[in-house]
Amino acid sequence: MSEAEALVAQLVATFPALTGRVTIQRAKRVWIDVDRQAFPEVFRRLAKDLGFEVFCMITGLDEGADLGLIYHLARNDGLMANVKTRCPKGESMQTITSIFPGGGIYERELIDLLGAHIEGLPEGSRYPLPDNWPKDEHPLLKDWKPREKGAKDA
Amino acid sequence: MPDKKRTVRVPIGPQHPALKEPESFMVDLQGEKISSVALRLGYNHRGIEKGCEERTYMQDLFLLERVCGICSHSHATAFIQAVEEIAGLEIPRRAKYIRMLIAELERIHSHLLWLGVAGHEIGFDTLLMYSWRDRELVMDLFAELTGNRVNYAMNTLGGVRRDIAPEQFPHIQKIVDALEERTKYYIELAMTEETLAQRLSGVGYLSKEDAIRLGAVGPTSRASGADRDTRRDDPYAAYDELDFKVITDDHCDVFGRTVVRLGELMQTYSMIRQILKQMPEGPIAVKAPLKIPAGEAVSRYEAPRGEDVHYVRANGTDKPERVKVRAPTLANTQSVAKMLEDGYLADLPIVVAAIDPCFSCTDRTIAVRGDRDSKTMGWEELVQYGVRWYRDRGVDPSRIKVRGDESA
């Protein structure tokens, strides 16, 4: 049994709801599709018990009514687990900073660029947009278009 | 416990003399010692990810090459690997070897640049002059092999754009030999020169636990004892066919970060020799479609400063649905606040420089500003312009002979 297959077996044994939702893309890439409610538990288990101690990044996606979120984790043996979940726009996700204190900057990026709501994020300056950037404009949303050059602020 | 009444808050940046890129540090001081640091990043945000969604895959390749001047090949390769995985393209082995060759040469140029900057930040400018002089060898080699000193544009979807002729191998070999000799000298210097050891030891301490907890990558994490390297752990290109060691160190300070980078240079020279020896024959690219089928992939790449992570989602058109880029500096800045805590304010420049934050590089042609018909200068012309500029200010670089310059 390969490392990836072993991981799938471990995950499905603990979380029966994940049956059929963990896929092996190639030897070092595993994708886990998890509901928002079950996400914190699955994420914690991967990070704390299954050795995924390398936090790579979070990818945010505009999927219409939902924000798609992919948390990319890796293990020291090179195996990468990509945990995918969806959060309806306007609702909030729990912060991961209690597990990965360095993860805050990636969450701030989701807030600025995609308008995500993150609960429990420690106070700090925004990232990466300037301080005077309008609060309700999130450039990575599909319906956001840059203003014409020279256009006046609304 | 820090005494709040006696805390002095010093804002450093976004524009400051020590670093070439904007970053803002809000430093709380107790006397000479730093009690806490708050960072503000994002001054260089250029909207590249959004830009990628509006351009084709081939255009994105060149746009992403410009995420960083030093790690240009790193970002381009990390991106194109992800696209090739989605498209199911198996690139020729020769293309993989050429990608590795450029990648390892890029590591030399980045690490030597870092060594110079580190020397400069601690007032050891001789080291800066030496290592940047040596770095010119690899920069000129890049110009020969790729046509450019930075932004080499070697990658294309399905392989590489330029072949490397066997007649060029002895020259690459010669430059690697010369740089290896120089690096041996720098290693001896680092190990025996007392001032260097005293200035760097214990400065910017980051324990192994903190390095892992805060997500440090690359030489920064390896100098804190984390035994990680994407080239070995999650091999891409043909790194599984090369024999190399991952250099780690347990000093956990700026001295350790110097030792790791110098050790990595020695490994890189050996890897380049293996690449030249094992370079397979054959084509350098396969035919690639313009439209990429729907799918997603994550690509990891060990850039000189640490791991680059690129995520690409394709939607069946010639433009990606989403491109996400994680450069190593973003991962490493999370540890900087920790490294600075309880350190001296005077150590701030070298501690920050020790993670090797991303600096920009100049191109070899320039546009003259302020002139309506802006013109570009060739290399010779640029050299002459530089010599004249100094001469006009009373500096006579008479030892430099410039072809076609009659005023000497």
Residue ranges of chain A whose pLDDT lies below 50: 154
Domain total of chain B: 3
Are B340 and B388 contained in the same domain? no
Cβ-defined contact of A74 to B333 (cutoff 8 Å): no
Q: What is the pLDDT of residue B395?
A: 75
Q: How far apart are the C-alpha atoms of B344 and B31, rounded to whole Å?
A: 9
Q: Are residues B26 and B107 in the same domain?
A: no
Name the most confidently modeled range: A36-50, B325-339, B357-371.
A36-50
Give the domain range for residue B65. 48-362
Within-domain flag for B349: yes
Cα(A150)–Cα(A128) distance, integer angstroms = 23
User: Does one domain contain both B141 and B18?
Assistant: no
Which among B41, B326, B335 is the nearest to A56, CB-wise? B326
- Residue B204, number of CB atoms within 10 A of its CB: 27
Same domain, B139 and B191: yes
Q: Could you tell me if the ipTM is greater than 0.90?
A: yes
Specify whether B324 is located in the same domain as B400. no
**Interface-testing mutation among A26, A52, A54, A145, with chain B (most B C-beta atoms within 10 A):** A54
Which chain B residues are within 8 Å of A140, Cβ to Cβ? 49-50
Nearest neighbour of A127 by CB, restricted to B41, B233, B297: B41
Looking at the domain assignment, is residue B374 inside a domain? no
DSSP alpha helices (H): ranges in B7-124?
48-53, 57-64, 72-87, 93-121
Does residue B186 belong to any structural domain of this protein? yes
Q: What is the pLDDT of residues B182-195, one digit of tens each?
A: 999 999 999 999 99
Q: Which are the contacts of B186, defined by CB distance < 8 A and separation ≥ 6? A: B115, B127, B130, B131, B262
Does B279 map to a domain?
yes
CB contacts, 8 Å: A77 with chain B: 233
Do B35 and B52 share a domain, yes or no?
Answer: no
- Residues B201-213 have pLDDT tens digits of 999 999 999 999 9
Please report whether residue B340 resides in a domain: yes
Total residue count of chain B as it appears in this document: 408
Q: What is the pLDDT of residue A70?
A: 98
Same domain, B212 and B245: yes
pLDDT band at B362 (very low <50, low <70, confident <90, very high): very low
Q: Tell me whether residue B204 is in a domain.
A: yes
CA–CA separation, B108 and B304 (whole Å): 8
Counting other chains too, the contacts that B110-116 makes at CB distance below 8 Å and 24 or more residues apart are: B110/B70, B110/B71, B110/B304, B110/B305, B110/B356, B111/B261, B111/B262, B111/B264, B111/B265, B111/B268, B111/B304, B112/B138, B112/B179, B112/B265, B113/B70, B113/B359, B114/B261, B114/B304, B114/B353, B114/B356, B115/B186, B115/B258, B115/B261, B115/B262
Looking up tokens 């640091």 gives: B37
CB contact set of B174 (below 8 Å; sequence gap of 6+): none
Measured distance CA(B335)–CA(B312) in Å, rounded: 27
Segment B143-170 shows an average pLDDT of 95
Torsion of CA B332, B333, B339, B340, to 10 degrees: 160
Query: Is B372 part of a structural domain of the chain?
Result: no
On whether both B267 and B330 belong to a single domain, the answer is yes
A28 part of contact set with chain B, CB < 8 Å:
yes
Kindly report the CATH number assigned to the domain that includes residue B128.
1.10.645.10
* Binding-site residues on chain B for chain A (CB distance < 8 A): 38, 40-42, 45, 47, 49-50, 85, 212-215, 227-228, 230, 232-235, 297-298, 300, 307, 309, 311, 313, 321-322, 324, 326, 330-331, 333-335
Q: Do B319 and B386 share a domain, yes or no? A: no
Are the Cβ atoms of B213 and A70 closer than 8 angstroms? no
Task: Tell if the CB–CB gap between A53 and B212 is shorter than 8 Å.
Answer: yes
> Do residues A65 and A86 touch, judged by C-beta distance below 8 A?
no
Phi, psi of B314 (to 5 degrees): -105, 150
Overall average pLDDT of the B163-168 stretch? 95
C-alpha angle A96/B309/B252, rounded to 5°? 75
pLDDT given at position B352: 86
Q: Tell me how far CA of residue A92 lies from CA of A5, A75, A102, B43, B219, in angstroms.
A: 32, 28, 20, 27, 36
Q: Which of the 8 DSSP states describes residue A147?
A: P
Indicate the pLDDT class of residue B145, thresholds 50, 70 and 90: very high
Q: Are residues B405 and B268 in the same domain?
A: no
pLDDT of res. B99: 98
- Does B8 lie in the same domain as B156? no
Residue B70 neighbours by CB distance under 10 Å: 21
The beta-carbon neighbor of B215 closest among A70, A100, A113 is A100
Closest CA to A114 of A64, A67, A72, A70: A67
- Which tokens in the block code for residue B153? 């544009």
**CA distances (Å), origin B55, targets B91, B136, B235, B290, B294:** 23, 34, 29, 12, 16
| In the predicted structure, residue B408 carries a pLDDT above the cut 50 | no
Q: What are phi and psi of B383, to 5 degrees?
A: -60, -45
Domain for residue B231, yes or no?
A: yes
**Euclidean distance between CA atoms B149 and B30, whole angstroms:** 45
Among candidate residues B234, B230, B269, B257, the one with its CA nearest the CA of residue B246: B230
By C-alpha distance, which of B385, B387, B405, B386 is closest to B396?
B387
Q: Which helix (H) or strand (E) holds B170?
A: helix B169-192
Structure tokens at B210: 């903190």
B157 and B286 part of one domain: yes
The answer to whether A27 contacts chain B (CB < 8 Å) is no
In the three-class reduction of DSSP (H, G, I as helix; E, B as strand; rest coil), residue B408 is classed as coil
The share of chain B scoring above pLDDT 70, in percent, equals: 90
For residue B364, name the pLDDT band (cuts at 50, 70, 90): very low
Chain A nearest CA to B111, separation (Å): 23
